[in-house]
Chains A and B, each alone.
Chain A
Amino acid sequence: MKYWRVPLDVDEIQVTRGIVHIVEERCKGCGYCIAYCPRDVLEMSSKYNVKGYHPPVVKKPEACVNCHYCETICPDFAIYSVEAPPQEGDDGKHSASC
């Protein structure tokens, strides 16, 4: 995310991280989650699911901030995100350049 100035409390803000789960056999390939992900995490995969649709695939797993928007806009109950546990080396601090 680009800022027009760096927020003053950027060192204190904890940014949550999310893990996206895709239930491939439910997906109907409408592409809503891909088009409206605010962090551009997903892309259309080239493989087919059992129904013959292209499900989304996670392109940038580290960019997900667990906003749940894909989960709410998916008409097929096929995608959801859960909060990622804090990892070692990742102090959860937000960097202004990411």
Chain B
Amino acid sequence: MDKLKARSDHPLDALLRTDRIPHIWCSGCGIGTVFASCLVAMQTSGIDLNKTAMVSGIGCSGRGAGYIKLDSYHTTHGRAIPFATGMKLANPELNVVVFSGDGDLFAIGGNHFIHAARRNVELTVICVNNLNYGMTGGQAAATTPCMAKTPTTPLGNPETPFNLPLLAYASGASYVARWTILHTRDLTKSIEEALTRRGFSFIEVLAPCPTGYGRRNKEKPLDSLRLYQERTVIKNGADPSDVILDYQQGITLGKFIDHERPTFLDSYDKTCRINF
């Protein structure tokens, strides 16, 4: 009985489908922390939760939509953003949050991302960047650092990873930030801001993947957090072209871009609806 009582007492239980908890994420995985920050930000930002929906794609982070006790959609691989765009255009009152991973949003869904940012659709995109395709076994992704070992790059990754904040900025996003799971307070505040901004908001969150990425690169979960503590520097307003994800140089965190410009709905109404 005491255990049952303790279960229902967690401050986030009101927003969780508690019958599905404990979730599937591995011990030390950072997705749960990002998810918790997202829930706290939703609670404290003052948005109407009855008019909030979470959309996610495929992958470990894609499971997020299944754990939130709001309207939520688990879409096909890479299609979280087009699905969310459709929802937002069909019902402009909704707050649509896209919660997904780097593989889903930037590999298979890369084109959808850049076009939603170009149109400036009012979405809040939270990208959990764990540097690999975690769910399928840790293969090299578009965000895997150069020389990292994965099952598909046993000698080290010869490719250069995406600089996600620069990609978002260059595509036209109106809010761009990057945090890690260690900076939970900044992350929660940032998600809160992104939820209340008009326009396309993008937040990249670095999270450890101990099973897929850490195991092959000799990085235990607490080692990843130590890297986040020692090798990061917070520079709000930094130029996105300078924030390359490279642990040797040091990782820049912060809110990089925050400027408002007309959203897709604004320009659509002005161009196509005003005369009818």
Interface residues of A (CB under 8 A from B): 21, 23-26, 28-32, 35-36, 51, 53, 69, 71-77, 80
Task: State whether A26 touches B30 (Cβ < 8 A).
Answer: no
Chain B hits for A76, CB < 8 A: 21-23, 25, 32
User: Are B10 and A80 neighbours in the complex by a CB distance under 8 Å?
Assistant: yes
Choose from B12, B22, B225 the contact partner of A32 (Cβ within 8 Å). Answer: B225
The answer to whether A71 touches B28, judged by C-beta atoms less than 8 angstroms apart, is no
Residues of A within 8 A of B33 (CB): 32, 72-75
Listed in ascending order, the chain B residues whose CB lies under 8 Å from chain A are: 3, 6-7, 9-13, 16, 21-23, 25-33, 35-37, 40, 181-182, 184-185, 188, 221-222, 225
Q: Which residues of B contact A71 (CB under 8 A)?
A: 11
13 A/B residue pairs, CB under 8 Å, sorted by A: A23-B3, A26-B21, A28-B28, A30-B27, A30-B221, A32-B33, A32-B225, A35-B222, A75-B36, A76-B32, A80-B9, A80-B10, A80-B11
Q: Which of A69, A73, A77 contacts B10 (CB 8 A)?
A: A77
Q: Is the CB of A21 within 8 A of B6?
A: yes
Chain B: which residue is nearest A28 at the CB level? B27
Given contacts A25-B22, A72-B37, A72-B40, contact A77 B12 (CB under 8 A): yes
Instruction: Decide if B32 touches A74 in the complex (CB within 8 Å).
Output: yes
Contact A31/B222 with A74-B32, A76-B32, A77-B10 known, Cβ cut-off 8 Å: yes
Pair A25/B3 contact, Cβ less than 8 Å: yes
Smallest CB separation, B99 vs chain A (Å): 14
* Closest chain B residue to A29, Cβ basis: B27
